[in-house]
Chain A
């Protein structure tokens, strides 16, 4: 193992300190560290990288080679051919099952810290205002991009670079989708998002906030003004547990809690007007990225936090490093337990959860053991609950647009290039795939931008 060198572990701020604030947990590695880590690849890896782990096929050996040579600008150029915002994907991608999961060095030792190096290159480019010039000429055609999450950001940037007049519509007062309202500051600083949107505007993208497509403008109305419409409206409708007592006061969906904290800055209440109620002992239901973000936000607001999950430690679906950070910070985990009822002492506020003990059963479609009720229950006292068990596709546009075909899960139906059932209307990201990942959504944005370009060339 030592022959191929140890993997670089990015520095983090100490748990006792970071759990008291919303500043970033993990630090960007230094240029020296980046060069050293990338060189590990060049020195020790003979097998060509398959890229198979990456949903958008980033040229990993290519950018690592440039980093090892200290040529960060070239590395950046290579990266952004596939991941337009390496500062973001380097921070939020599930590297352990994607690129780093497929890294050949993993089999003989420790995989390259690809995410950390990628993030370094992205941050370096942002700090040094590296802009790769656009060469295409104006197409004099207009495209509307609906939604400003990862899929919308990439679709808008690519189309603007191709020479289209792009207007982005976002319902909220701050752009970014989940990157703005969901993922907390301590994991993805908002300054990175702001820079990204400045760059979009520099590319000529016109961003209109407070527009709810479906009601403010309908799709047919947009089609009158634009040559094409891209829908990147995400999977934002929270799934409820549907167990008795779920609507008691003190029970929040993770989206409400995170929106209050991130978007409305409730952690700065009462300087900001939006209040947040934080319990003394908080139970978070679920163990995905959303649950970790909610748990760690609640912790930072002073609560004692328990994550309750119906499966086991090995099935936690959040990024491995977030799970690790959560444990380091003192979030406690209760595995193999699922809520069957929420109870209240005063008839208003939640005071305890009746939990069913679960046990592992036959593997399900995801290959993980299915959680099976044991019949045995126990009570967990709590004064606040945050549910984080997943999302449905955002139903607003489909509701208002009868011609837009959706499947029985509410996902917008598209062909492999992103065309919907309505001519000149395209879609990508979570609205098409259901709850997925930032990089998948970005991949869709890019793919659909190409389709739109191809189709608009014809007319």
Chain B
């Protein structure tokens, strides 16, 4: 018998990037593309948000893909198949506002690619023509190429060093597509804040509908702490309950990147402590 919150499967997709299947029937039965869960690895852990990459309402599992960047994600990696996660809450946030647009551009970077996957799948299912641009630093770090191909009409790849596809950033491929006269009715971008900002800048005025899934630092995830606040169209909104997707053209990107750095020093201390304890 698999217990609730037990890890069913775990796989390293690329260096420091893992795919994990967790038993979470309550979340799986209610999940929609674009939503996320909050996870606490153990009793002393942080509450970290993770996008729902896939789920099975009948069987009751959810899938997440994450990159080890600090204490919580490294602690998550230390869990083995069969281990239990202390806490999972969700699904959280508004589902992606998918519908039949026509031509849709999907832009994903790094661990943003798996997060983009269920949205692309849903858009495809609704009959859109899905054009995808995905990118990573190197070809080794590129993940979810196969999955994205299955739900896209065309896939373009970029790598920073040119080891695969176009040499450059995802936004460079987006520029090429737009310069070639491709017309899109909507665009989704999921990835690092700088990537989403860059995509917003080049698509603004060219693609009418544009969403980015913001990765603000979160604590509560249910709209009461305000940690994940962002300015969108001069209004203060909360990524957890008002997002996580917002109109890319309205987001105050500068502020988002400032707020992402608020805990740099403490994150280092926490990581040093984890290392000092000989756990990694």
Binding site for B on A (CB under 8 A): 171-173, 209-212, 215-218, 236-238, 240, 242, 246-250, 252-253, 255-256, 259-260, 264-265, 269-277, 347-348, 391, 394-396, 399
User: Told that A212-B222, A247-B259, A274-B219 touch, could you supply 10 new A-B pairs with CB distance under 8 A?
Assistant: A172-B220, A210-B87, A215-B91, A216-B89, A217-B26, A238-B226, A255-B224, A255-B226, A395-B241, A399-B241
Name the prevailing secondary structure of the B interface residues: mixed
Distance in angstroms between the alpha carbons of A240 and B226 in the assembled complex? 9
B58 at the interface (CB under 8 A from A): no
| CB–CB A273/B72 < 8 A | yes
B interface, size bucket: 35 or more
Q: B55 to nearest A CB, angstroms?
A: 13
Chain B neighbourhood of A276, CB < 8 A: 266
| CB–CB A273/B231 < 8 A | no
| CB–CB B44/A271 < 8 A | yes
B164 at the interface (CB under 8 A from A): no
A-B contact count, CB below 8 Å?
128
| CB–CB B88/A247 < 8 A | no
| CB–CB A215/B223 < 8 A | no
Distance in angstroms between the alpha carbons of A259 and B227 in the assembled complex? 10
Q: List 19 A-B contacts (CB under 8 A).
A: A171-B222, A172-B222, A173-B87, A210-B89, A212-B90, A212-B222, A216-B26, A217-B26, A237-B238, A238-B226, A240-B226, A252-B227, A253-B225, A256-B226, A259-B219, A271-B44, A275-B266, A396-B222, A399-B241
Across the A-B interface, the 5 shortest Cβ-Cβ residue pairs: A275-B266, A236-B224, A253-B226, A256-B225, A249-B262
Known: A238-B225, A249-B261, A256-B219. A270 touches B89 (CB 8 A): no
B9 at the interface (CB under 8 A from A): no
| CB–CB B258/A347 < 8 A | yes
- Select A256's contact among B222, B227, B270, beta carbons within 8 Å: B227
Distance in angstroms between the alpha carbons of A159 and B4 in the assembled complex? 28
Cβ-closest chain B residue relative to A249: B262
Chain A neighbourhood of B267, CB < 8 A: 275
| CB–CB A348/B258 < 8 A | yes
Chain A neighbourhood of B40, CB < 8 A: 173
Chain B neighbourhood of A211, CB < 8 A: 26, 89
| CB–CB A273/B241 < 8 A | no
| CB–CB A171/B225 < 8 A | no
Cβ-closest chain A residue relative to B86: A173
Q: B112 to nearest A CB, angstroms?
A: 22
Chain B neighbourhood of A394, CB < 8 A: 222-224
Chain B neighbourhood of A216, CB < 8 A: 26-27, 30, 89-91
| CB–CB B224/A264 < 8 A | no
B46 at the interface (CB under 8 A from A): yes
Chain B neighbourhood of A260, CB < 8 A: 219
Distance in angstroms between the alpha carbons of A270 and B35 in the assembled complex? 30
| CB–CB A269/B270 < 8 A | yes
Residue among A171, A211, A250 having the largest count of chain B Cβ atoms under 10 Å: A171
